[in-house]
Amino acid sequence: MSPLGKAYLDKLNACLHKLPEEERLDAVREIESHITEGILGGQPEAAILARLGDPRKLAKAYRSEYLSQNISFSYKYVFGLIGFYCTTGLLSVMVVPVLATIAYGFGFCAALIMLASFIRTFGVTWITMDIGSYVVPTQLSLLYGVVIGGIVGGIAFVCWKALKRYLAYVTGRYRRIIDTEIRF
């Protein structure tokens, strides 16, 4: 077998790292046997490897087959998944878009506020800055722009961090549910 075939088998073996040792070795031996038989049958090794496809996809197929044959789902696991999707799944439909909209919208507004205050400070008269009924003097535009832009930018930053934390929490919770039932 050429270095190309050995590299393919090594990649397959690496992608099957979560399977039990015996299952992983059986899968690699099966593919190695298939490659060897094809070469002995007169087929080019490159054609055989091309027909087998990406080793990651092949490994995924082996893992799926292993799971379908060896995993039994308990009621606790099924109800845990239902609870997860009913709580975080439905909540995510509201939380993710709201936090993302606030984060990016306020971030964009903060940049515009600071840019407008900078431009107004240097004499552009058509930009007005009003805080309630108070009209900000031109000389103080940059100061007010930085302060207000900083507050709006801070809100954007807090929402962005909250969005990241929420997504990390949901992902971690999902992984814990999956890991409690499916162990390799």
Q: Which residue has the tokens 């789902």?
A: 73
pLDDT of residue 73: 62
Angle (CA) 90-92-94 rounded to 5° is 90
Residues contacting residue 147 through CB under 8 Å, at least 6 positions apart: none
pLDDT of the residue at 18: 79
Token digits of residue 134: 């108070």
In three-state secondary structure terms, 104 is helix
Sign of CA dihedral 9, 15, 21, 27: negative
Tell me how far CA of residue 55 lies from CA of 2, 19, 36, in angstroms. 16, 15, 16
Q: Mean pLDDT by 10-residue block, N- to C-terminus, for the chain (184 residues)?
A: 83 85 87 88 86 86 78 70 78 89 96 93 84 85 92 97 93 76 49
What does the pLDDT read at residue 184?
43
Model confidence, pTM: 0.55
CB-count exposure of residue 73 (10 Å: 0-12, 13-18, 19+) = exposed
172 burial type by CB count under 10 A (0-12 exposed, 13-18 middle, 19+ buried): exposed
Query: What integer pLDDT is reported at residue 97 of this predicted model?
Result: 93
pLDDT at res. 105: 96
Please give the pLDDT value at position 86: 79
| DSSP 8-state code for residue 134 | E
